């Protein structure tokens, strides 16, 4: 047993480990990483800037000459009046024309946009009025296009020519 006691006496305890420096470096590195990730998250979550095409205003922003859009609208009315289109088909064509016009004006595909989509679509100062007018126009076109005329007197009373005027108004007032 003496040999064991002599062996233990020869052991020299190690000095206390100082982990302050490595722990401090780890904490500082973790904080720097957290800040970098927060900044990256903010930068990547910001909306992208609109292209120069989408930022243009005036006639160029509407995807061309308003006369061409009015001619398309008048063509739908003429096709309806010559019995090439049913009333419902004419309303659907007018709604499609309104969406196509707005798509050309904004650079966004709006062919299948529902009223909910149009209401929740992001707006900026340049297209707010136009998108609101588009939503109102499409909402006005829905009842005559889809409602049963026998059950909905208001929907039955709207003429294709009147609805065409709404779409023409959209073209004229878009900003």
Is residue 161 a part of any domain in this protein?
yes
Is residue 31 a part of any domain in this protein?
no
Express each pLDDT in 14-48 by its tens digit: 777 788 888 889 999 999 999 999 988 888 887 76
Express each pLDDT in 92-151 by its tens digit: 888 888 888 888 888 888 787 776 777 777 777 777 778 878 878 877 776 655 555 555
Is residue 34 a part of any domain in this protein?
no
The pLDDT value recorded for residue 149 is: 54
Beta strands in the chain (DSSP E): none
Is residue 114 a part of any domain in this protein?
yes
Number of domains in the chain: 1
The pLDDT value recorded for residue 58 is: 46
Which residues contact residue 125 at a Cβ distance below 8 angstroms, ignoring those fewer than 6 apart? Answer: none
The pLDDT value recorded for residue 173 is: 84
The pLDDT value recorded for residue 82 is: 93
Is residue 20 a part of any domain in this protein?
no
Is residue 117 a part of any domain in this protein?
yes
Number of H helices and E strands in the chain, helices first, is 9, 0
Is residue 120 a part of any domain in this protein?
yes
Express each pLDDT in 51-88 by its tens digit: 444 444 444 444 557 888 989 999 999 999 999 998 88
Is residue 3 a part of any domain in this protein?
no
Range(s) of the domain holding residue 91? 62-173
Q: Do residues 101 and 171 lie in contact, with contact meaning Cβ atoms separated by under 8 Å?
A: yes
Q: What does the chain come to in residues?
A: 175
């Amino acid at each position: 047993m003496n040999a064991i006691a002599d062996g233990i006496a020869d052991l020299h305890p190690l000095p206390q480990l100082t982990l302050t420096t490595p722990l401090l470096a780890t904490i500082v590195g973790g904080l720097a990483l957290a800040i970098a990730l927060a900044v990256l998250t903010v930068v990547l979550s910001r909306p992208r800037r609109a292209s120069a095409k989408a930022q243009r205003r005036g006639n160029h922003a509407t995807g061309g000459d308003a006369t061409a859009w009015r001619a398309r609208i008048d063509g739908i009315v003429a096709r309806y009046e010559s019995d090439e289109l049913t009333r419902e088909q004419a309303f659907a064509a007018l709604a499609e024309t309104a969406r196509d016009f707005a798509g050309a004006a904004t650079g966004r595909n709006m062919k299948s946009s529902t009223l909910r989509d149009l209401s929740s679509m992001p707006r900026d100062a340049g297209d707010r009025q136009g998108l609101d007018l588009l939503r109102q126009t499409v909402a006005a076109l829905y009842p005559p296009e889809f409602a049963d005329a026998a059950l909905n007197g208001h929907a039955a009373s709207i003429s294709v020519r009147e609805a065409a005027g709404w779409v023409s108004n959209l073209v004229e007032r878009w900003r």
